Amino acid sequence: MAAGAAEHVSRTLADHLPILVVLAPFVAAPVAVVIGNRNAARTLAVLATVISLVASWLLLRQVVGGGYISYPIGGWPPPIGIEYRIDAANAFVLLLISAIGTVFLPYAFRSLDHEIPWRNHTLVYCCYLLCLSGLLGIVATGDGFNVFVFLEISSLSTYILVSQGCYRDKRALTAAYDYLIMGTIGAVFFVIGLGMLYMMTGTLNMADLADRIAAQGPNRTLLAAFAFIVVGVSLKVAIFPLHMWLPYAYSHAPSAVTVFLSATATKASIYVLLRFLFSVFQPEFVVATLTPQAVLLPLAIAAMVVMSFVAVFQTDLKRMLAYSSLAHVGYLLLGVALMNVDGLSATIIHLFNHGITKALLFMGAGALVLRVGSTFYDDIAGLGRSMPVMSAAMVIGGLSLVGVPGTAGFVSKWLLVQASFERGWTFAAVLVVASTLLTVVNMWRVFEVLYIRSPNPGSQRQSQPLTSAGGPAGRIADTTGDAPLMMLVPIWILAIACIWFGIDTGLTLGSAQVAAESLLSGSLGMADGAI
């Protein structure tokens, strides 16, 4: 006891990084509401997000070589108490979520001023902090029920954030309601599966679950729990055909909210799927159930091809990008279905590359909303010539989404094709290329609208800012010139990142390979050892 107490007293701030990454935004959220000042809420959001980013980076540096960090909450050792467990897989995702949050905030300041009444800004920043904390908690925790708790924290705050788009488009309320219904169904399925696992094993600690499940062997309760958890998480991920909530949510939410969610929310849910498939149920069990070939592969192919094809017929940029996100969920699933190191590495690195790429493109769409109040192709025609700096960044994002060599998107797609050939699935590699060609069509339409088509004064709508009461302020804002500097800086940071991580893959590819090897090794308890 004395030795344990001495060890506890001697801990430094660096030892508490696993909890600090989640706790900073979680504490800042209610403080922002209590203060009740919009500028104070902004400052708290920036401070908490930067703390999470620094903590995530330091955690990744510690585990990128292998092994894991175990952090028991409240001094109760696992599996009795809740444990945060950090390895290369979740440290990489933590870095993505916190980095997107940090880059996105300056952009959000200008975008939210335009699309949401000032009186709601404190609430929006509070919900953002709760959403950020929930997403980071989902990724950091090593306890199954804690995953459910953080899923609900992030989801409930997300519903509110999406609904704030109602000041520009009343359909945002319907989108938020659809998201709520589907998200609740997914959460119910997930918690039923967890309940079955607890009934069978008497534990909710993921590492302990893995050991006890392996000792018991396959049975009907385990198969039912597996099915409930996979379906529940699939609803959160928006895996085809459980995807219908996502296009509406992304299209009608405020632009800044769409930026953050598109780059982080589905990525955290994909991580949960990976963690349960490989660390809790084990790769051998997943293969024995034929889940990769019979379930994941067909859904991945359908998403890649069908969603890319549907995106071709969209006439709204935000909606097209939403369907493109669904197609890229197919890429992520294909990497999982391959069940090899290269395939899983492609999935993990694509989490990062697609996150920064799609955040960049949705930022560009938000800048267009600020300019003309719309992202319909007829309304944004010719704006590439009058907004050259912002549009040039969107071109880089489009090239990365296609997967042009020298961009981040190329790295993960190339890995995916290689892994498909390695597995002997030549048809999968061909379909990746076919889906990419459809992405070329989609992005060419965007470039054509921005640069080649002439403006259509009859359909172009000018955008009015909102007063604190939610009505038009009586003046036209940002109808000429490029996007504001506060928007351009984050946009170009992400544009440069798309090029940088397409050329220098040391951080992303190295982290992804270590994470893939760790996941394919099975149980969290079988990792290289605690650091």
Residue 96 lies in a domain: no
**Predicted confidence band at 65 (pLDDT cuts at 50, 70, 90)?**
confident
Show the DSSP H helices in 339-459 as ranges.
341-372, 377-380, 383-386, 388-402, 408-423, 426-447
- With respect to residue 518, please indicate whether it lies within any of the assigned structural domains: yes
84-124 pLDDT, tens digit per residue, is: 998 888 898 999 999 999 999 999 988 888 888 888 888 99
Q: What is the DSSP letter of 71?
A: E
Residue 460, Ramachandran bin (φ over 0: left; ψ between -120 and 50: alpha; else beta): beta
Q: Would you say residue 12 lies in a domain?
A: no
Q: What is the pLDDT of residues 299-345, one digit of tens each?
A: 999 999 999 999 999 888 999 999 999 999 999 999 999 888 888 99
Q: Is the pLDDT of residue 4 over 70?
A: no
144, pLDDT greater than 50: yes
Q: Do the domain assignments include residue 213?
A: no
In a domain, 188, yes or no: no
What pLDDT score was predicted for residue 470? 45
Q: Which residues pair with 72 in a beta bridge?
A: 83
Distance CA 513, CA 397 (A): 25
Query: pLDDT value at position 478?
Result: 45
Report whether 344 contacts 475 (CB < 8 A). Answer: no
- pLDDT confidence bin for 524, thresholds 50/70/90: low
The pLDDT, as a whole number, for residue 489 is 92
- Model confidence at 26, pLDDT cuts 50, 70, 90, reads very high
pTM of model > 0.75: yes
Least confident of 58-62, 188-192, 454-458, 471-475: 471-475
45 within some domain: no
* Residue 328 structural domain: 293-467+477-523
With respect to residue 406, please indicate whether it lies within any of the assigned structural domains: yes
* 16 in a structural domain: no
CA–CA separation, 224 vs 230, rounded Å?
Answer: 10
What does the alpha-carbon distance between residue 362 and residue 368 come to, in Å, rounded to a whole number? Answer: 10
**Each residue's pLDDT tens digit, 161-206:** 998 888 877 888 898 999 999 999 999 999 999 999 999 888 888 8
Helices (H) and strands (E) in the chain, counts: 23, 2
336 backbone dihedrals φ, ψ, rounded to 5°: -70, -45
User: What is residue 432's three-state secondary structure?
Assistant: helix
Q: What is the pLDDT of residues 267-287, one digit of tens each?
A: 999 999 999 988 888 888 888
Dihedral over Cα of 450, 455, 461, 467: its sign? positive
More confident residue, 210 or 12: 210
What is the reported pLDDT for 8?
44
What percentage of the chain carries pLDDT values higher than 70?
A: 91
Number of domains in the chain: 1
Is 80 exceeded by the pLDDT of residue 364? yes
pLDDT value at residue 462: 47
Question: Following DSSP, what letter does each residue of 153-218 receive, concatenated?
Answer: HHHHHHHHHHHGGGGT-THHHHHHHHHHHHHHHHHHHHHHHHHHHHHHHS--BHHHHHHHHHHH--
In this prediction, residue 522 carries a pLDDT of: 65
Residue located via tokens 């909606």: 319
For residue 523, give the nearest of 280, 275, 345, 289 by alpha carbon.
280
The whole-number pLDDT of residue 202 equals: 87
